[in-house]
Amino acid sequence: MGIQDEVELLKRIPLFANLERSKLKLLAFTSERLTWPAGATLFRQNEMGDAAYILIDGEAEVLVEADGREIPVATLARNDVVGEIAIICDVPRTATVRARGELTTLKIAKDLFFRLIAEFPEMAVEIMRVLAQRLERTTKDATRAEARVRELEGQHGG
């Protein structure tokens, strides 16, 4: 895949859709394209993050550890961004991400990610939008789970 193909691919990702071509070329040159086999782990919950990943092709599963087992909480697909929370907030990874089948990603190092956000405030707005949507979904899921637990406790006499 040539640099022009990568630029076209990046333009289709909502996070980068408004960036000018020269910046997309820079991003394509400075980010690392990786192919992961099925079952490969991109990163693990509680590790420190050094990069964000954009899914170019394939799917990945987001898993959260609870009571010693991994619980699937989301599926990621083409154009999704993952891993940005750890680098934005400088906190350990909030989940484990694993390739469902063969997966191709673009790895964006932390310093490049911050440089892009500094140069393009609209990127920061898009990131906030994505994170807000995720938070809303998580809140709805938690509310449903809590209602289900109460329902089950009621059936079993608490």
Q: Residue 132: its pLDDT value, please? A: 85
Q: Residue 158: its pLDDT value, please? A: 58
Q: Tell me: the pLDDT tens digits for 56-66? A: 999 999 999 98
The answer to whether 14 touches 3, Cβ cutoff 8 Å, is no
**Concatenated DSSP letters for 98-117?**
EESSSEEEEEEEHHHHHHHH
Q: Residue 143: its pLDDT value, please? A: 85
In sequence order, the β-bridge partners of residue 98 are: 41, 61
Question: Which pLDDT band holds residue 40 (cuts at 50, 70, 90)?
Answer: very high
Radius of gyration of the chain (CA): 18
Report the candidate in 24, 47, 46, 38 with the shortest Cα–Cα distance to residue 108. Answer: 24
Work out the angle at residue 148's Cα, subtended by the Cα atoms of residues 144 and 150, and round it to the nearest 5 degrees: 120
Return the percentage of the chain with pLDDT > 90, whole number: 33
CA distance linking residue 51 with residue 148, whole number of Å: 36
Q: Residue 64: its pLDDT value, please? A: 93
Q: Tell me: the pLDDT tens digits for 89-147? A: 888 998 999 999 999 999 989 998 888 888 888 778 887 887 788 788 878 877 887 88
Domain 3-155, CATH among 3.30.1330.10, 3.30.70.260, 3.40.50.11030, 2.60.120.10: 2.60.120.10
pTM > 0.85: yes or no: no
CA distance linking residue 11 with residue 6, whole number of Å: 9
Torsion sign over Cα 105, 107, 112, 118 = positive
